[in-house]
A and B are shown apart, each in its own frame.
Chain A
C-alpha cells in the first residue's frame, strides 16, 4: 500500500493514534472511528462517505484532514441542478470567441496558397485543436482535484442535495479517479486525492455510490469527547463550567426535540457563556441563552418547564 503522507507505523494502532493526534493538532478532536476512517481512506485509496446529524463536524473533518495532511482543500457544494459544467469543467467560451476575433486577420495568411475549398479545409484541419485544448478549459472542483500535483483533499459537501444523475456521474471519478472529457480524452489523477463526501440523509444515497465508499457515521459525541472538543475549541472556559455545560447539552439530547443541539451549537454556547463571564450555570442564564442551543421556538417553549431540573442536574454532574 502506498501511503505517502501518513507514516506507516509499525502497527496500525500507532498509525491511527498518529492520525488522531494529528487531527487534534488542527483542533479537531475525534475518537477511534473517525481516525480509522481517515487512515483507511489513505490505505485503500477510497472515498469516505460521512453521514450523521447536522452539526457534528462532517465538513470540519475534511477541513481538518486537509490541514493535517498539508494538502489543499477543494470544496464542492452540491445543490439541486448541479451539473457537469459546474462540477467538472467548462470551456472558456468568451476567451475562445475573443481569440477567434483577434486571429481572424491571421486567417488570410494561413489560407494563402490553398486552392479550392478542399485544400482550405485541409489546411484548417491542421489547426482545429487550437481552440479545444487545456488552455481554454476552465477547471471546476473535480477537475482541479485531479490536476493537483501533490494530491488534494476533495470535499463533496451535501451529496444528498444533488440529483441522482449527478451521483451516477460521480461514480467514474470515485472509482478510478479519472474523468472523460469528450474533446480531450480521459484525465487521470496525477496523485490520488483524498475524497470526503458528506450527507445529511435527506434522501437515500444510491447503493452504487455507497459500495465505492468507506462509510463513516458520526453520532453525537459522548460527554467525555464533547468536553475535550470544547476544551480545544474554547480553551478559555474553565473546567467546572465546561463540565456543567456539556452535561446540560447531553441531557438536552435525551429529550424529544425538533432539532437536537449539535456540537457546533455547544461550541457557540460555550463562547456565549464565556462572553457573559458566567462562572456557573443558573436557571436565568440558561433561559436567556437557550436560543443559541435550540433553533425552534417550539423546542424552547417545550423544555421551559424542565430547565430548572436540568440545570440542577447539570451543576451536580461530575
Chain B
C-alpha cells in the first residue's frame, strides 16, 4: 500500500504538484483513516491533504484518475471491490460521485469485453494477463521511465520477465493451427505491455518536457535564444522574478524592534524635565534602491537587453524605481515606454526604434552624463549592459567615471564570454576601471543571480 502511495506521489510531483515529505506522511495517515474502499472519498481526502491550491487540485484530479487506472493491481481490485460496495450499501442516486466512477468502470469492462470477442480470450485470462504484466512491469522498474525513447527498452524488459521467449519457442515448435493462435496471443501480450508502458510514461513524465525545456533555457546564452522561444522565456522570467520578489519583499517591512534608542529617547524627553516618559525605538531604515539601466541595443546585445529590462520591470515591487536607457549610436530614455505599455511591448518598441545602429559608447556616455548625472546619488545602482566594443572609437571613459564617482556602484554586464574580452575593438579592460564590478551575463540564470544581488543589497 505504501508503494502504491509513494509511486502516486512521484507521479503527482511529475505533474508539478509540490508535495513535501510531511505532506506524504499526512497522506499516509489520511489513507489509514479513509482506506481504499471508497474511491470518491479517497480522492477527495488525498486531494485535501496533497494539493494546496485550486490549480494543483485540478492537476491532482487528472493525475489521480490516470494513476488509479494505470495502477493495475490495486486498480482492478479496487474497481471490483467498488462494484460490490456500490451495489451493496449505496442506495441509487444517493450521491453523485459514485455515478461518475461507475461510468469509468463500465468503460473498463466494455473494452475488456470487446477484446474478448476479438481475441478469444476469456475475461479471467485477460485480468490475469493484466496482473502479470503489471507485476512484471514493477519488477522491470518501469516507474523509473523518464523519456519516450526508453519505451522500447522497458517493453523488452517486461516481455523478458514474463517469458516471451518460451512463448516464441512454443510458436516455432507448435503445429500451424496452434501456432497461429499462440502468435495471436503473443500479439495481445505485446499490446498489453505497450499499453502498460505508455500509461506509465504518461504518468511519470507528463510535465517533464516543459521542465526540461525550462532548465535548458535558463542556461542557454541569451544571444542564441530563438525568437520562437521568446514567449516561453518571458514566462520564465516572470516566474523567476516572482520568486525573487517573494524572497525579498518580506525584508522591506522589517523594522528592528525591541532595541531602545537611548540617544533619541533622552532627546525626546527633555520636555518632561528629563523624566524618561516616552520611549523611542531603534528602527532599521528601508533603503529603496534606484536603478539606472543603460542597455546597448545594437544587434549582438539586443536579446540580453530585452530580458534584463524585462527582469527589472518584473520586480517593481521591490525595486520600484528603474530608469531605462537604450543606445546604439545615440542614447534615449525609454522609461516612459514602460509606464504606458506592458513590458513586452515596450521592449519590442524600444528595440525597433533605437536598435540596429553601430555602437558609439563615447557619445552614449556623454549623453548619459548630461541626462542623469543630477539624478545619480549614493543609492543609485547603474547597470550598463554592453559588449564594450566601441568600433575603435572613444569608449567615453571620462563620462562613465564621472557617473561612477557619484553612484553607489556601477556594474558592467557583458554578454560575451570572458575569453573574448579585450580582443579586437573590445575595451573592457579600460572600461572596467570605471566600474565596481564587471560580470558576464549570458543566460537567464546569470540574470537571476544578478538581480537577486541588487535586491539583497537594496534592503
Contacts and interface: CB of A to CB of B under 8 A. Distances in A.
A11 interface: yes
B29 A12 contact: no
Given A12-B38, A211-B20, A211-B23, A1 B33 contact: yes
A48 to B, nearest CB: 8
B26 interface: yes
Interface stretch (A212-220, A272-280, A293-301): A212-220
A39 B44 CA distance: 12
Which of B34, B37, B51 gathers the greatest number of chain A CB atoms within 10 Å? B34
Interface string B18-57: 1010110010011011110110110011001101111001
B433 interface: no
B33 A32 contact: no
B97 interface: yes
A39 to B, nearest CB: 8
A13 B49 contact: no
A40 B48 CA distance: 9
Interface in A6-53: 11-13, 16, 32-33, 36-37, 39-40, 43-44, 46, 49, 51
Given A12-B38, A36-B45, A43 B33 contact: yes
B95 interface: yes
A11 B38 CA distance: 10
Contacts of B97: 32
Given A32-B41, A211-B20, A37 B48 contact: yes
A32 B95 contact: yes
A203 to B, nearest CB: 11
A232 interface: no
A210 interface: yes
Contacts of A211: 20, 22-23, 52
Contact of B48 (A12, A16, A214): A214
Contacts, number: 75
Contacts of B18: 207
A159 to B, nearest CB: 14
A256 interface: no
A11 B37 contact: yes
Taking each of B30, B97, B250, which has the highest tally of chain A beta carbons within 10 Å of its own beta carbon?
Answer: B30
B23 A32 contact: no
A32 B34 contact: no
A170 to B, nearest CB: 15
A51 B95 CA distance: 23
Contact of A32 (B29, B35, B44): B44
B250 A44 contact: no
B253 interface: yes
A164 interface: yes
B48 A44 contact: no
Given A211-B23, A217-B54, A40 B37 contact: no
A12 B54 contact: no
B8 to A, nearest CB: 17
Contacts of B54: 51, 217
20 contacts: A12-B33, A12-B34, A12-B41, A13-B89, A33-B44, A36-B34, A36-B44, A36-B48, A40-B33, A44-B26, A44-B29, A44-B30, A46-B26, A51-B53, A163-B253, A211-B23, A214-B26, A215-B48, A215-B49, A215-B52
Interface of B: 18, 20, 22-23, 26, 29-30, 32-35, 37-38, 40-41, 44-45, 48-49, 51-54, 57, 89, 95-97, 250, 253
Given A36-B34, A46-B26, A217-B57, 5 more contacts: A32-B97, A36-B48, A43-B29, A51-B54, A214-B48
